[in-house]
């Protein structure tokens, strides 16, 4: 398969550098098959503003979510307002660990544009929502994608 990608507007070079550092660190861990989603080291790659965009549920909120999920009819689960939340941090890391793709690169392709590339092993490969969240939670606008 050919590489998939996201191109996005860079409006803060420091945030891009943090995103890029995380990308290459998780790429290395994935290449070595050593991603541990609840390892606290991943948090160090994100600033407070970015971390605040994730869902950090309490145990009571997780319990309530599970109850609502079970009680909601299957055909309504993905449209029910009460079940809609941002990604939780560990789930994003877990999605990267279990996605069936290789991380290729995360680079600036112009002064104000970045590009993340990855190469799926097969189809379906686990989706691209984790990449989308990574980019958008850093405050960047996705301009173009080939997923």
Dump pLDDT digits (tens) for 19-57.
999 999 999 999 999 999 999 999 999 999 999 999 999
**pLDDT per residue as tens digits for the range 58-113:** 999 999 999 999 999 999 999 999 999 999 999 999 999 999 899 999 999 999 99
pLDDT at 124 over 90: no
Dist. CA 129–CA 134, nearest whole Å: 8
The candidate with the shortest Cα–Cα distance to 85, out of 102, 65, 100, is 65
Residue 61: which H helix or E strand, with range? helix 59-71
pTM of the model: 0.89
SS3 62: helix
pLDDT at 122 over 90: no
Cis upstream peptide for 124 (omega within 30°): yes
Report how many helices (DSSP H) and strands (DSSP E) the chain contains, helices first: 5, 4
Dist. CA 107–CA 89, nearest whole Å: 23
pLDDT at 118 over 90: yes
pLDDT of residue 58: 94
CA–CA distances in Å: residue 84 to residues 24, 78, 130: 30, 8, 15
Dist. CA 147–CA 141, nearest whole Å: 16
Dist. CA 68–CA 45, nearest whole Å: 33
- What DSSP designation does 3 have? P
pLDDT at 126 over 70: no
């Amino acid at each position: 398969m050919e590489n998939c990608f996201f191109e996005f507007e860079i409006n803060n070079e420091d945030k891009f550098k943090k995103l890029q550092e995380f990308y290459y660190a998780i790429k290395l861990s994935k290449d070595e098959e050593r991603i541990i989603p609840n390892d606290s080291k991943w948090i160090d790659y994100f600033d407070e503003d970015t971390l605040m965009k994730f869902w950090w549920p309490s145990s009571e909120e997780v319990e309530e979510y599970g109850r609502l999920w079970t009680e909601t009819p299957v055909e309504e689960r993905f449209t029910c307002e009460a079940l809609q939340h941002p990604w939780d941090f560990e789930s994003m890391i877990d999605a990267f660990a279990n996605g069936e793709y290789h991380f290729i690169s995360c680079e600036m392709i112009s002064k104000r544009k970045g590009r993340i590339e990855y190469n799926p092993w097969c189809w379906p490969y686990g989706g691209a929502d984790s990449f989308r969240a990574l980019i958008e939670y850093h405050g960047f606008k996705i301009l173009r994608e080939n997923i």
